[in-house]
A and B are shown apart, each in its own frame.
Chain A
Amino acid sequence: MDGMMNATLRDTVVLGARVIDPASGHDTIADVLIQQGRIADIGLGQGAPEGAERVEGQDSVLCPGLIDLRVQLGEPGREDRETIKSVTRAAAAGGITSLCALPDSAPATDDPALVRALIARGEETGSLSILPYGAVTRGCAGEQMAELGLLREAGAIGFTDGGRPIGPARLMRLVLSYTCGFGGIVVQHPEDRSLADGGCATEGELATRLGLPAIPAAAEAIQVARDIALARLTGGRLHFAHVSTGAALDLIRAARAEGLRITCDTAPPYFDLNEIAIGEFRTYAKLSPPLRAEADRRAVIAGLADGTIDAIASDHQPRDADDKRLPFALASAGGTGLVTLLPITLAQVHGGTLSLLRALELLTAGPARLLGLETGRIAKGAPADLCLFHPDRAWKVEAGKLPGKAQNTPFDGRAVEGRVTGTWKAGRRVFG
């Protein structure tokens, strides 16, 4: 399959782009030669081999293809919301070349056959690696442990119940402990359910004014604190998804200082928006976890800058109009994020809170390191998964006009800077 596809591949050379490889820290103007699906050479002035496709990279940045830690595919089960085909289009337009698929589909990814099927579906696209998570519990129902070892053997990248927290302490202890046996990573949605159930906004003045059932921000830190204690007890490899509060980040920071193998990610809404976005009952800004107070947004930015947060994931959750055109508490939580992942992250670079190198690390080398992937770097011999973007080109996010099927972006109407102009998957141009 690999050889067959590469046989039809033309050599490509990207000329004069600012090449940033966060894995090594290299940041230079260079030409990058792509041959046989891999990066053949990085340098200046060697010129292009005969017959190679030439791509002008002046004023653009060439970085590794983005690796997205959290995506709900819509397939299987909710093809009305999103399909692998439509996700593939949106991912390519967003510079994403690998994505981790959440297991809370219908059926859930709790069977090795489904893991294999998803990986194969990704390979069929020719433009996107789908890295499936396995479910922690059967049906992601939170009760009986799924066949974690078999899921792992089939290629599951890690284990999570998606948007559902792994609730009982005993279950979490056993899962962390069992996965230690083969080095699996357990990804938690950090939210204490007894505090969060029925809630749809962060507790505080705004939720009180709107009369919405609320979730105290502490629901996150409470779950994080317990799980850190269980990671300490078991030696398990624990990762917290879409961390959104300063209190949780403080706990994670301290646990890492102690030497525990704990990592975390966040998603663009949590450093770009605060709870005010839900004002007037805007259901497109209804997310899980809910948007937080401004102080927490700032704490997330601090966590991105100081290294507490390892990765930025899109947390892409496709919903259709009917899922959202409901009274706020009844509307489905979640927002799309593939196409906005890079530009919303770049807003922090333009705003001076993150360096470009650090921002791109959070989108490429950071998640690659976390999952032990070969991709996420620009180096001789590495797979040519690449993203070329113009860092300053402005555009406006408009629900209804985004690539992909689902249009439920929480960033509707937002002016952003940074536009992907080319995406390559294993040396093949898949966007631009």
Chain B
Amino acid sequence: MRHLLAIEGLSPRVIGDLLNLAESYALLNRSGKTQRDRLRGRTLINLFFEDSTRTRTSFELAGKRLGADVINMSVSTSSVKKGETLLDTAATLNAMQTDLLVVRHDQSGAPNLLAQKVEAAVINAGDGMHEHPTQALLDALTIRRHRGKLEGLTIAICGDVAHSRVARSNIHLLNAMGSTVRVVGPPTLMPSSIAALGVSVFHDMAAGLEGADVVMMLRLQKERMSRNLLPSSREYFRFFGLDAQKLAYAKPDALVMHPGPMNRGVEIDSAIADDPTHSVISEQVEMGVAVRMAVLDMLARPPAAGAVGGRH
């Protein structure tokens, strides 16, 4: 595996290998031990064109636990507007002899563009509305730890699917692993032809959550209201916010997930988010570090025959 740019195109075998490795790192992390020799002498740069404290911290911790030298670079959009292009940045990074490059960007495809120009292995930490591969991996790992498998489970992804890279990566991953995927949300937040990605589409939480093993909530950005995609956050919460009443449509032991940061009272009721019998939201954060350790470890290995890098 040369880069991790997308889940789309990864084989179930590669996904399974990553999850198994991440599982072992999860155990290691809980035991309090480290493996600082794995990436000793390697340089990891967190290149964030979009603010995200939690994802950046998660990658930083993952790199440090494996012994890499971790550097955080926040590139504000203003300096990009001053004329420094993505490719100028790539040239700089090449000169610094970076081994691993974690990229977050508000534009779909930006990590693909960087991957063409840098010598480092590129890890997509979220690009526009395209993909967020490590989020899907950590979600899958969390589910697998609770259910023992992904195959045969029914997973409802709810909310702003149209603008969500988390939804896209999860759809690709869960489909590859044999889950049944539903998307639930108002039509204005559903991307065109989403069913072609292998999901069933619901516009009603009762039907969409019926018998679901996992309810995955997505963050709703305030901007959606100003752009007339929705009338108000109050109305959104009424029909699509996850509360006890709506959760009751799912299986009694359904897991509740959220990629964070949550808008409490908009897409999820605080009582549900904090309910330990359903919510695995904190565990998602924990698995995030383990999954990122697995990805860094895998990408830092010398190239082997049959390398895979996703569709891109």
Contact = CB atoms under 8 A, between A and B. Distances in A.
A370 interface: no
Contacts of A325: 85-87, 113
B109 interface: yes
A241 B253 CA distance: 59
Interface string A312-329: 000000000010011111
B160 to A, nearest CB: 13
Interface stretch (B12-20, B66-74, B125-133, B262-270): B125-133
Contacts of A212: 108-109, 128-130
A185 interface: no
A328 B128 CA distance: 11
Nearest to B105: A327
Contacts of B113: 281, 325-327
Nearest to A200: B108
Interface in A160-217: 203-205, 207-214, 216
B153 interface: no
Given A208-B193, A208-B194, A281-B112, A329 B107 contact: yes
Given A208-B191, A211-B128, A325-B113, A330 B107 contact: yes
B197 A208 contact: yes
Interface string B191-218: 1111011000000000000000000000
Contacts of A322: 85
A209 B311 CA distance: 11
A214 B108 contact: no
B312 A211 contact: no
A209 B8 CA distance: 9
A327 B191 contact: no
B168 A209 contact: yes
A328 B107 contact: yes
B165 interface: yes
- Overall SS of chain A's interface: loop
A326 B86 contact: yes
Interface residues of A, number: 21
A205 B193 CA distance: 5
A50 interface: no
Contacts of B130: 210-212
Of A211, A281, A326, most buried by chain B (CB within 10 Å of CB) is A211
B308 interface: no
Of B109, B112, B131, B196, most buried by chain A (CB within 10 Å of CB) is B109
Given A281-B109, A327-B86, A328-B107, A214 B127 contact: no
Interface in A204-257: 204-205, 207-214, 216
Contacts of B112: 280-281
Interface string B223-234: 000000000000
A205 B196 contact: yes
A214 B130 CA distance: 13
B110 interface: yes
A316 to B, nearest CB: 25
Contacts of A208: 168, 191-194, 196-197
Interface string A382-420: 000000000000000000000000000000000000000
Interface in A308-362: 322, 325-330
A113 B113 CA distance: 43
A211 B131 contact: yes
Given A280-B112, A281-B112, A329 B128 contact: yes
Contacts of B85: 322, 325-326
A280 B312 contact: yes
A337 B306 CA distance: 39
Nearest to A198: B227
Given A209-B168, A209-B197, A211-B131, A204 B192 contact: yes
B6 to A, nearest CB: 9
Nearest to A328: B109
B57 to A, nearest CB: 24
Contacts of B108: 210-212, 281, 327-329
Q: Which 7 residue pairs of A and B lie closest in terms of their CB atoms, listed nearest first?
A: A211-B130, A327-B107, A211-B129, A281-B109, A205-B193, A211-B108, A208-B191
Given A211-B129, A281-B108, 6 more contacts: A211-B128, A280-B311, A281-B312, A325-B86, A326-B85, A327-B108
